[in-house]
Amino acid sequence: MTTALCPGSFDPPTNGHVDVLRRSLDLFDELIVGVVVNPSKEPFFSLEERQALFTGIFGEGIVEVIGFDGLLVDVAKGVGADVLVKGLREGADFEYEMAMAHMNRHLTGIETVLLPTSAEHRFISSSLVREVWRLGGDVAGLVPSVVLQALEAKR
């Protein structure tokens, strides 16, 4: 049985994130979504809100959702992950994620699967969604409906 850990800030989860996660469900026996807590940043959605959004997106029991801070490879080891999954949108993502994949393998031997986001989602990022939303733009096609509802509740 292969367990994959897909880490990210997911603030908020986008259709691009969901695309990568749904496709990962087809590739691995178990999928854990790791929501990163970055103490140096003020999140738009709290850790608990982001975790609840994933439950709303996938339902109970489809994916396990955890929050974490600290070294990713330590978290992966702690949850028994065999592989890390990272989504790629464009070339800049590739360079960064390759460096991280090499470092993670160097530290613990864990492999990273780099999964390209589907073409229709390549331009979507959480920061872009937040910016468009703050300026009053329509983000309905960029995020799952449960995320859109949570955004609207913050207006």
Whole-number pLDDT of residue 41:
83
Per-residue pLDDT of the chain (155 residues; tens, 9 = 90+): 899 999 999 999 999 999 999 999 999 999 999 999 988 889 999 999 999 999 999 998 889 999 999 999 999 999 999 999 999 998 778 999 999 999 999 999 999 999 999 999 999 999 999 999 999 999 999 999 999 999 999 88
Looking at residue 132, which CATH number applies to its domain?
3.40.50.620
Active centre residues (catalytic): 17, 41, 89, 126
Cα distances (angstroms) measured from residue 13 to each of 29, 37, 41, 52, 146: 22, 14, 17, 11, 10
Whole-number pLDDT of residue 40:
82
Residue 90, classed as helix, strand or coil, is coil
Answering whether pTM is above 0.95, one says no
Angle at 64 between CA 84 and CA 119, to 5 degrees: 55
> Is the torsion defined by CA of 105, 12, 146, 118 positive or negative?
negative
Phi and psi for 37 in degrees, rounded to 5? -105, 115
Whole-number pLDDT of residue 61:
84
**Residue pair 86/114 in contact by the 8 Å Cβ criterion:** yes
Q: Looking at the 3D structure of the chain, how many domains does it have?
A: 1
Question: Which residue segment(s) compose the domain that 87 sits in?
Answer: 3-153
Whole-number pLDDT of residue 91:
75
Cross-sheet strand order for the sheet of 111-116: 64-68, 30-36, 3-8, 83-88, 111-116
Whole-number pLDDT of residue 36:
95
